[in-house]
Amino acid sequence: MIRKDLLHITKDYFKAQDIPTVDADLLLAHLLGCNKGEVQLKLMKLDDEQTSELDRELRRLVLRRQNGEPTQYIIGSAPFRYLNLKVGPGVLIPRPETESLVELVKVRIAEIDPATLVKPVEIIDLGAGSGCVAISLATEDCGKEVDVTAVEKSPEAFEWLEANVIATGAKVKAVLSDVATACDDDRFDIVVANPPYIPKMQILPINVRFEPADALFGGADDGMEIPNHFIAASARLLKCGGFVAIEHHESQEALMVAALEQDFTDIKSVKDLTGRPRFTTGIRKQL
């Protein structure tokens, strides 16, 4: 076998299986211990014995991917903004659309008058999962000093959250708790949340079914049961005038606005990069 053909053969096979061909690059990069751009060069340097061993290892990973296992679980990591996070069974894989949630928070931080701050901007990430949002906010330049707390109730997901906080060196306080009772004595300037929100009847692709259902489905037919709990927690945790940004399903725009109206003002819907209503923001009313 010609070494460089390993990549092309795998890509052609994935294309025939309706699997993204970039997964071939990711799997080979993982096995070769390099980035995607270095795969061809690494392949060319292998001798016949090394190529045969690589082919055997690659076939095992290809079979796992063909059976629906997400590539991110297979290689143990997923990119998010400027991070490469540890992921695996028990935690939701970070999505590209969620990167915009970080931007919404950074824009809000920029709007805060420094004269009103006597300490860092206090942020809490509810349902933090892998920690992608919380760690991004803690490690990126937000223009002001921030103090970030990440709340996750799943013990399995919390292990990944802690591992990523340690691996990145991020100054994030990780809290194992349900959002309904988390940080009851604390108040925050910003709540950011990506709750489980998928409507009950939506059929998911096979690779998504490997991810924890309790991190995906929002309860009730419209998927709003759990988001409503997150909204109630946001109202409890925010200071008056505090800011909330929540990710949700594209079908839930009006439902989110209605759910926020009791405790929030200046409610705005925000579209994702594909033009779908994906986020809703609001300001905590004065008590």
Q: Which amino acid is at 33?
A: G
Buried residues in 61-81 as b, exposed as e (16+ CB within 10 A): bbeebeeebbbbbbbebbebb
Cα R_g (the chain), whole angstroms: 21
Helices 5-16 & 22-32 angle (0-180, nearest 10): 140
Q: Quote the DSSP letter at residue 206.
A: T
Give pLDDT, residue 5: 85
Q: Which amino acid is at 102?
A: V
**What residue spans define the domains of the chain?**
5-67, 90-284
| Strand pairing category for 264-271 and 172-176 | unpaired
Q: What's the pLDDT tens digit per position in 133-144?
A: 999 999 999 999
Q: Which helix (H) or strand (E) holds 48?
A: helix 48-66
Does CATH number 3.40.50.150 belong to domain 90-284?
A: yes
- pTM for the full predicted model: 0.93
- At 27-49, the pLDDT tens digits run 999 999 999 889 989 998 898 89
pLDDT at 2: 53
